[in-house]
Amino acid sequence: MIINNFRKFVCLISLLGICSCTQQVTRLPSQFESRNQEEPALSGNGEKLAFIVDYQGRPSVELRDLRNGNVLPLRHLSRNQPHSSPSLSWNGRYIAVIAQRGVKRLVIIEDRLTGRSHQLPIPGERMPVRLSLSPDASQLALQIIDKGKWRIELFDLRGKIEPDLPSGTEFFNNSRAEN
């Protein structure tokens, strides 16, 4: 009886030791309303969150500043709904979404710093389904449907939009180029 209880005690201590060695993920407190939210996209620096919400019966992108919970304005994305597949650059300067104008689905990238909108032309019958913007906004990966087949296409955005680099990276890159 004592040996049995001792074994149970040793098993319990071992289990507690194993559980305490695993890393735990902490859930952050929610700052958002309790409405439906889909397709989250987090900026590289973790300060901005884009997601899709129902706005007047249409899926629309919403952008939040996670430091204070404020909704950030989007000038060019308040129309051409429904929206899907949001993606953010490193600092959240650029937000890319798939939008709809009439029956045509298109890719829109909004530059929140300059207020400009960039539309990515998708020629032919190809339909965009999902996208991913690189952290520095130099490339865009786009999943499309083309004649019943699913494909991935990469688009080079260098020269069309300025890079969105982590703070301090501009100095580092410029000083390396001078040496």
Q: Tell me the per-residue pLDDT of 112-121, one tens digit each, with 9 for 90 and over.
A: 999 999 998 7
Give the pairing of strands 149-156 and 127-133: unpaired
> Does pTM surpass 0.85?
no
Q: Which backbone phi and psi does 59 adopt, to 5 degrees? A: -65, 125
Q: Which domains does the chain have, with CATH numbers?
A: 37-178 (2.120.10.30)
Q: Tell me the per-residue pLDDT of 23-49, one tens digit each, with 9 for 90 and over.
A: 665 555 555 555 788 899 999 999 999
Phi-psi region at 148: left, alpha or beta (left = phi > 0; alpha = psi -120 to 50):
left
What single letter denotes the amino acid at residue 106? L
Of 98, 31, 33, the residue nearest 66 (C-alpha): 31
Tokens of 145: 């449907």
